[in-house]
C-alpha cells in the first residue's frame, strides 16, 4: 500500500499561521508583522501576564502528580469558566442546565463541538459569517459539515448588515447549525449590539437553529461581562446552544492550549445526557485534555486577589488596543487614503479589516515588509509608534492606482 496521491500533492499553507513562517524568513529588519492574532506589547513582544507567572510559581510548589485528567477535564476548571462566561449566579449555571468540558484551546472546543454534533445526528449544514476566521470552514468541512455562509458586513465592510444577516438565517433549514462570534468578530471587529443579539436569537428560535458561539476574545472588547452580552440574547427557556471559549488570548496562554466547551440545554437532564456523548467525542479525539494551562486559569479565577490583578492586566491590554485603534483612525484620517475610516474606532478586539485586495496585501508585504492577512486584516495590537506611520504611508501607496 502507498499513501493516497492527494497526500502527496502540495498542501496550501495555513492562511494565518503560514504567514508567520514567511515573516520569520523575511530578512528585512524593519518588517512589521500585523498578521497573527496574538496580543503584542509596545515593544512587539508577546507578553506573559504577571498573574500567569505567579500562578505557575504556586503550582510548581504543589505539583505532585502528572496523572491523566478526566476526559472532560477538571470539574473546578469547568465551573470557573462557566462563571466567567455567564457570571456567577446566572440561571444557566444555577439550574444545572449547562455542562462545561475542558478542551485544548478554542480550536479544540470547536472540533469537539463539530464531532459531537455529527456523531449525534445533527443537521450537517453549518452557517458561517462571511467573512470569518479562515479555520472555521476547513474545521467544519473536515468534520463532515456542508458549509454555507451568511452575510455579515455592509458593502463597505465597515458595519453590521443585520437585515441581510437575518434574511440568510431565515433561509436556513430547521435545525441547521450556525456559528456566531460572541465578541470581537474575527476578522472585522464588528459586533452586534444588545438589540441585534435579540433579533438574532428571535430567528434562531423561529428556525430552531442550533448556535455555536465562538468566544475566543472575552475581555478584549469592552470588558469581561460586557463582551458576554450575547448571553442575554440566547438565554431563553428552551433555547439550546454551545459555547467555545478560549483562554489563549485573555490569559496569554497560547501555547498551553486551554479552552472549554459549554453546552447549554433546555434542562438539567438533557445536559447530563449530552455530556456522555461529548465525552465520547473527546475520548476518540485526544482522550483527555492537557492540565497545565487549565490549572493556571483555575488558580487565577478562584483566588480573589490574583483574579483582581488578572482583570487589571486584561483591562490594560484592552485599553492599549483601544488606544491603538484610535491612533490608527486618526492617522488614516489625516494622512491615509481617502475612505470612511471612522467606524474602525468603535470596532472591538484586536482586528481591523482594511478592505484590501490580494494584490494590495502582496504589495504591502513585498514592497513595505508589512504583513497582513487576506482581505487586509491587521492586528491593531501590533501597531507600534514607528510602525503606524509606515503602515499609513504604505496604504496610501498600494491603494493609489
Ligand X SMILES: Cc1ncc(COP(=O)(O)O)c(C=O)c1O
Binding site for ligand X (CB under 6 A): 37, 105-107, 133, 181, 186, 214, 216, 246, 248, 259
* 100 versus 186: smaller Cβ distance to ligand X: 186
Which residue, among 69, 20, 85, has the nearest Cα to 250 in the 3D structure?
Answer: 85
> What is the phi/psi pair of residue 22, to 5°?
-65, -40
Residue nearest to ligand X (CB): 105
Task: Output the smallest distance, CB 57 to ligand X, in A.
Answer: 24
The smaller minimum CB distance to ligand X, of residues 179 and 395, is found at 179
Contacts of 391-397 with C-beta under 8 Å, sequence gap 24+, read 391/32, 391/34, 391/328, 392/331, 392/332, 392/335, 392/336, 393/335, 394/364, 394/367, 394/368, 394/370, 395/332, 395/336, 395/337, 395/354, 395/356, 395/364, 396/335, 396/336, 396/337, 397/363, 397/367, 397/368
Nearer to ligand X, 112 or 234 (CB): 112
Residue among 248 and 347 whose Cβ is closer to ligand X: 248
Whether residue 279 lies in the annotated active site: no
Nine-digit cell at 84?
466567567
214 annotated active-site: yes
Residue 249 annotated in active site = yes
How far apart are the C-alpha atoms of 33 and 347, rounded to whole Å? Answer: 21
CB of 306 to ligand X, least distance (A): 21
Please, where are the H alpha helices in 190-303? 194-206, 230-234, 268-283, 292-302
Minimum gap (Å) between residue 259 Cβ and ligand X: 5
Residue of 72, 115, 133, 341 with catalytic role = 133
133 vs 140, beta carbon nearer ligand X: 133
Q: Which of 127, 227, 230, 249 is catalytic?
A: 249
Residue 237 CB, nearest approach to ligand X (Å)? 28
How far apart (Å, rounded) are the C-alpha atoms in residues 190 and 355? 14
Please give the positions annotated as active site: 133, 214, 249
Amino acid at each position: 500500500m502507498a499513501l493516497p496521491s492527494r497526500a502527496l500533492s502540495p498542501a496550501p499553507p495555513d492562511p494565518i499561521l503560514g504567514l508567520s513562517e514567511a515573516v520569520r524568513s523575511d530578512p528585512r529588519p524593519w518588517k512589521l508583522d500585523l498578521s497573527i492574532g496574538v496580543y503584542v506589547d509596545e515593544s512587539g513582544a508577546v507578553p506573559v501576564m504577571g498573574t500567569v507567572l505567579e500562578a505557575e510559581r504556586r503550582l510548581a510548589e504543589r505539583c505532585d502528580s502528572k496523572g491523566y485528567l478526566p476526559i472532560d477535564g477538571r470539574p473546578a476548571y469547568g465551573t470557573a469558566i462557566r462563571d466567567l462566561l455567564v457570571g456567577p449566579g446566572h440561571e444557566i449555571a444555577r439550574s444545572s442546565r449547562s455542562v462545561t468540558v475542558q478542551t485544548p484551546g478554542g480550536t479544540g472546543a470547536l472540533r469537539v463541538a463539530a464531532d459531537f454534533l455529527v456523531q449525534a445526528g445533527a443537521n450537517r449544514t453549518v452557517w458561517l459569517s462571511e467573512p470569518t476566521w479562515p479555520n472555521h470552514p476547513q474545521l467544519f468541512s473536515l468534520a463532515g459539515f456542508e458549509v454555507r455562509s451568511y452575510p455579515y458586513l455592509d458593502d463597505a465592510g465597515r458595519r453590521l448588515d443585520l437585515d441581510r444577516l437575518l434574511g440568510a438565517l431565515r433561509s436556513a433549514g430547521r435545525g441547521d447549525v450556525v456559528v456566531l462570534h460572541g465578541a470581537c468578530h474575527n476578522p472585522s471587529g464588528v459586533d452586534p449590539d444588545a438589540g441585534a443579539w435579540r433579533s438574532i436569537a428571535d430567528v434562531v428560535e423561529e428556525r430552531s437553529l442550533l448556535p455555536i458561539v465562538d468566544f475566543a476574545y472575552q475581555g478584549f472588547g469592552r470588558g469581561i461581562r460586557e463582551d458576554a452580552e450575547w448571553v442575554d440574547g440566547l438565554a431563553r427557556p428552551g433555547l439550546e446552544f454551545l459555547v467555545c471559549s478560549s483562554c489563549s488570548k485573555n490569559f496569554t496562554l497560547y501555547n498551553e492550549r486551554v479552552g472549554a466547551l459549554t453546552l447549554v440545554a433546555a434542562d438539567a437532564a438533557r445536559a447530563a445526557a449530552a455530556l456522555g456523548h461529548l465525552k465520547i467525542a473527546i475520548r476518540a479525539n485526544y482522550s483527555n485534555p492537557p492540565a497545565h494551562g487549565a490549572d493556571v486559569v483555575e488558580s487565577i479565577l478562584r483566588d480573589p486577589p490574583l483574579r483582581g490583578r488578572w482583570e487589571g492586566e486584561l483591562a490594560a491590554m484592552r485599553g492599549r488596543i483601544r488606544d491603538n485603534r484610535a491612533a490608527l483612525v486618526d492617522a488614516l484620517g489625516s494622512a491615509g487614503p481617502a475612505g470612511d475610516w471612522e467606524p474602525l474606532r468603535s470596532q472591538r478586539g484586536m482586528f481591523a479589516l482594511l478592505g484590501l485586495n490580494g494584490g494590495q496585501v502582496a504589495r504591502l508585504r513585498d514592497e513595505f515588509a508589512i504583513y497582513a492577512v487576506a482581505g487586509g486584516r491587521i492586528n491593531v495590537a501590533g501597531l507600534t509608534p514607528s510602525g503606524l506611520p509606515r503602515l499609513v504611508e504604505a496604504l496610501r501607496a498600494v491603494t493609489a492606482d
